[in-house]
Structures are given as C-alpha cells and as structure tokens.
Amino acid sequence: MFKSEDKTKQSQNVETIIGPSVKVEGDFAGNGDMIIEGIVLGNLKTKNFLRVGKDAKIKADVEALNAYVAGEITGNLTIKESLELTATAKITGDVETKQLAVEKGAYLNGRVTMDLQAADQQPKPSVKMSEKNN
C-alpha cells in the first residue's frame, strides 16, 4: 500500500483509511490517525496525524495535530504542530501551523500564519533597533 520512502510517514495508530475509490460527504471527525486516498467533501478533523495521498481530493476545512499532504485540499487548514507539503500537494486556502515544510513544486494559494509561540522560541537578534540606527 505504501511506497518504501513513505514508511516514515506511517503511524502505528491509524484509525481511519479512506481508500481511493471512496467518497465521503459531510463532517468527518476522529481521534486517531487518518489516511485519505479518496474524496472528502465537508469538514475533516483528527486529533492526531493526517496523511493525504497524492490522488486524494479534499474540499473541506481540515484540522489535525500533524499533516503530510501529497494530494489536493481546497479549504482552510489548521495544523497544530507540523505540516509537510510534498511536490504534488495543491492547497487552496489559508494555513495555520507552527512548522511548515514545502517541497519544490508544491502549490499553495492562501495566507500562511505561523503560531507566535513557535516564533517566540526562535533565537532573537542581539542588536536593538535603536542601536542599529545609531
């Protein structure tokens, strides 16, 4: 089911798999990891990991702890920790996350907001603005 390079993206807690021939309409929520290979129309929520396969099409607002996207999402994404977009990912919507990795070739049309708490953990420059201007 997975290519060898995708093994690092697998989880031991997969609770839901929507296969390539499956179309789900309506709000969809779960507590465990989700793998989407088919079509989802509506809202999609998981408290854990979300993996969107390269042929998947999602027209929904999406919430997850972490996400790996290789397919197409039309809707806003709220990813609490880390979002990874592969070269085949196509996102049309606003993204909110702490960490974002984007491969060359990925398409992202929307506003990206990085969590301020994550930014506060980054090293700050030692030069103050008033010192810089003098």
Closest alpha carbon to 90 in 58, 42, 51: 58
Q: pLDDT by residue for the chain (134 residues), tens digit each?
A: 334 344 444 556 788 899 999 999 999 899 999 999 999 999 999 999 999 999 999 999 999 999 999 999 999 999 999 999 999 999 999 999 999 999 999 999 999 999 766 445 555 544 454 444 55
Residue whose entry in the numeric block shows the structure tokens 């030692």? 126
Query: Can you give the pLDDT at residue 113?
Result: 96
> How far is Cα of residue 12 from the mean position of the Cα atoms in its chain?
19
pTM equals: 0.78
Query: Can you give the pLDDT at residue 116?
Result: 60
Query: Can you give the pLDDT at residue 88?
Result: 98
| Contact present, 19 and 35 (Cβ < 8 Å) | no
Query: Can you give the pLDDT at residue 47?
Result: 94
Domain ranges of the chain: 4-115
Q: Which residues contact 124 (CB under 8 A, 6 or more apart)?
A: none
Query: Can you give the pLDDT at residue 119?
Result: 45
Query: Can you give the pLDDT at residue 110?
Result: 96
